[in-house]
Structure 1
Amino acid sequence: MAMKTRLSIALPLAMGLLLAGALAGCKKDEPETEPSGEPSGLSSAQSDEAVLQQSVSGWITANYADMGKLLYASAESDLDGDGTPEVLAYVGGPMMCGTGGCNLVVLKREGGDLRKISELSVVQLPVGVLDSKSNGWRDLAVTIAGGGVAEHTVRLQFDGKGYPRNPTVAPAQETDTIGTVLIPAEPLKPVE
C-alpha cells in the first residue's frame, strides 16, 4: 500500500516536471537587444513606427468603436513647433466616408495619451503640410473632390483652437501645392 501511495505521488510529480521541461523547450526566444534597449535588427524608426501605429489604432478604436469596420493611415509632423510631432490620422469606414472623402483627425501627444485637436470631414488623399504657419501651427494642405466638386487642393489654417472642420468651405483657400506629403494616396490598413 505504501508503494502505491508513493507511485501516486511520484508519477504526477514526474509528469509535471516532464511537461515543464517540454514547455521550457518551446519558449519563444526573446529578441536580442542593442545597448539602447531596442530589439536587434530593428531601427529606431521601425520600432517608433510600430509604437505609433498601435497608439493611433488604439485611439481610433476607443473613439470610433460604434462606427463599424474602420481603415486608416497615419503620419507624424511637428505642426506647432514644440519639438513633439502631432499625429494626423486619416480614418475611413462606412460611417466615416462619403462621396467627398473621409475624416482626417489631428492629434496632439500629451504624455502617453493622444488628444484630438481637430477633426475634418470630406478629405481626400493625399494630405500634406506646408511651410507657412497660422497662429503658430503649420498650415495643412488637403485634397478635396467628389459630390460635384472638381478635385483640387486647399490650404487649411489653424485658427488658434483647431483646423477648419469642413475644408470645402471658407476659410479654406485654394492652393497649387500639397507641400510635403504626409499621407499619400495609398490603400488604408485595417484598425486592429
Structure 2
Amino acid sequence: MKINQIIWKCAAKTGAMAIASAVAGCGSLQSEPEGLISAAPEGPVVLAPKRAADSGPAPIAYAGSIDPAELGKAIERFRVTKKREASPYETGAADLNGDGKPEAVVLFTGQDWCLKTGCSLVVFQSQEFGFRPVSHIVNVRPAVLAAPSQGSGWRDLIVKTGGGGAPVRAVTVSFSSNGYAANAIVLPVADAAVASSAASIIQDTPSFQSALDQHAANIAEPGQEPVRQTGLSHFSDQTRNP
C-alpha cells in the first residue's frame, strides 16, 4: 500500500485517536494573546483515554487535558521570539514521551510560517506551569501522525512534506538529544508497516491544502521580488527557516 494512501486512511480515522478536532484552534479563548487567529471550545480540552489492550492496536496513549489558555500563551511567546506574523494554526495532542501528560503539537499555517514545501510544526511539552517548545520542524504538511516506533524515549512522528517541484511524500521524524529532526524535507520515507499503525494527531483538510497552495502562489522564486500583502510576509529565500 502506498504511504500517502495509508496516511490519508489513518488521518480519516477520528474516534478516540482524532485529537485534532478536540483541540483545534485552542488559542481563541477570551484570555488568548492578541493577534492569534483560531477558534476553540470553552474550557479545558479533555483528551480521549488510552484504549484497552483488547480493543485493537493503540500505538499512542492520550491522557489528561490541555488548557487552551496556557497553550495560547506559549504559542504567542514562541511567535514573538521568532519575530513572525500572527498566524492561524492547527493543534493536536498526544503523550509522545510516555510520561502520562499530553504534548501539544501545533502546525502554523500562515504565510510567514510556510514555504512551498510545507509549514512550521512545533511540539510543546507540558510543564507544571504552561508549556515550553521542545522542537521546531519545518517543511511539514498534514497529516501528522504518532508512530509506534520511538527514539530517545519519544514517539516518532510521520508527516507529509514536499511541493514546489519536490515530490510530496510521507517521512519519519525521529527524536534525538537535540529534539525532533528540524527539516522534514531531508528525512527518509516512512515505512509502510509503521505508518499503517500510527495514530492521527493532526488531520489533513482541504482548507489547509487550499491555503498552502495560495501561499505557494505568493512566494517568489529565488532572485525574484516577493509579493507583498498588508500584514503578511512572503520570502524569496527558501532556505529561511519558517
TM-score by length of 2: 0.54
Q: Does 1:163 align with 2:159?
A: no
The superposition leaves residues 5-41 of structure 1 with CA deviations (integer Å, 9 ceiling, x where unpaired) of xxxxxxxxxxxxxxxxxxxxxxxxxxxxxxxxxxxxx
State the distance in 1 between where 2:79 and 2:126 align. 19
Q: Of residues 167, 170, 185 in structure 1, which corresponds to 2:204?
A: 185
- Percent identity, aligned pairs only, is 26
Q: Of residues 70, 87, 92 in structure 2, which corresponds to 1:55?
A: 70
Q: Which runs of 5+ in 1 are unaligned?
A: 1-44
Q: Does 1:97 align with 2:108?
A: no
What's the CA shift for 1:165? 0.5
TM-score by length of 1: 0.67
Letter of the 1:112 counterpart = F
State the distance in 1 between where 2:134 and 2:109 align. 18
The superposition leaves residues 61-89 of structure 1 with CA deviations (integer Å, 9 ceiling, x where unpaired) of 22214422300111111111111111111
Over aligned residues, Cα RMSD in angstroms? 2.1
Q: Secondary structure at the match of 2:77?
A: helix
What's the CA shift for 1:46? 7.0
Q: Secondary structure at the match of 1:173?
A: coil
Q: Which runs of 5+ in 2 are unaligned?
A: 1-40, 47-65, 209-242
State the distance in 2 between where 1:173 and 1:101 align. 16
Letter of the 1:87 counterpart = A
State the distance in 1 between where 2:106 and 2:166 align. 23
- Aligned partner of 1:79 in structure 2 is 96
The superposition leaves residues 102-161 of structure 1 with CA deviations (integer Å, 9 ceiling, x where unpaired) of 100011111122111100011001111000111111100010121211111001111123
State the distance in 2 between where 1:147 and 1:99 align. 5
How many aligned residue pairs are there? Answer: 142
Larger radius of gyration: 1
